[in-house]
Amino acid sequence: MRVLTGVGVGRGAVVGPVARAYPVPVVPADLPVPADPEAAAVELSAAFAAVAATLHARADAATGTLHEVLSATALMAADPSLVGAATAKVRAGAVPARAVGEVAGQFIDLFTAAGGYMAERATDLASVRDRVVARLLGLPEPGVPALGRPSVVVAEDLSPADTAVLDLDKVLGIVIERGGRTSHTAIIAGQLGLPCVVRATDAAGLEDGDVVAVDAARGTVTVDPDEAVVAAAQTRRAALAALAADTGDGATADGHPVQLLANIGTAQDAARLEDVAVQGVGLFRTEVLFLGAQTAPALEDQTTTYAHALSALGERKIVFRTLDAGADKPLAFVNQLDEENPALGIRAYRLVRTAPELLHTQLAAIAAAAEQTGGRPWVMAPMVATVEEAAEFAASARAAGIGTVGVMVEIPAVALRAADVLAHVDFVSIGTNDLAQYTMAADRLRGELADLLDIWQPAVLDLVAGTAAAGLAAGKPVGVCGESAADPVMALALAGMGITSLSMAPAALAGVRYSLRSHSLEACRAIAAAARAARTAPEARAAALALVAPEVREALAL
Q: Catalytic positions, please?
A: 184, 481
Reduced to 3 states (helix: H, G, I; strand: E, B; else coil), residue 203 is: helix
Region for residue 475 given its phi and psi (left: phi exceeds 0; alpha: psi -120 to 50; beta: otherwise): left
- Would you say how long the chain is, in residues? 558
Cβ–Cβ under 8 Å, residues 214 and 172? yes
Amino acid at 514: Y
Backbone angles phi and psi of 143, in degrees to 5 = 135, -165
Pairing outcome for strands 171-176 and 196-198: parallel
Strand partners, 10: none
Q: Provide the terminal-to-terminal Cα distance of the chain, rounded to the nearest Å.
A: 22
| Helical ranges in 432-508 per DSSP H | 432-440, 458-474, 488-497
Strand partners, 366: none
Task: Show Cβ contacts of residue 449 under 8 Å, excluding neighbours closer than 6 positions.
Answer: 442, 443
Strand partners, 175: 154, 197
Report CA-CA distances (Å) from 363 to 68, 270, 303, 349, 429.
Answer: 21, 19, 10, 12, 18
Region for residue 138 given its phi and psi (left: phi exceeds 0; alpha: psi -120 to 50; beta: otherwise): left
Q: Sheet with 151-155: list strands edge to edge.
A: 2-5, 220-223, 211-215, 13-20, 151-155, 171-176, 196-198, 7-9
Task: Show Cβ contacts of residue 497 under 8 Å, excluding neighbours closer than 6 positions.
Answer: 464, 465, 468, 469, 528
Sign of CA dihedral 441, 117, 484, 383: positive
Residue 436, classified by CB atoms within 10 Å of its CB into exposed (0-12), middle (13-18) or buried (19+), is buried
Q: How far apart are CA 375 and CA 539, in angstroms?
A: 45
Report CA-CA distances (Å) from 461 to 412, 455, 473, 499.
Answer: 11, 8, 18, 12
Cβ–Cβ under 8 Å, residues 236 and 510? no
Cβ–Cβ under 8 Å, residues 340 and 365? no
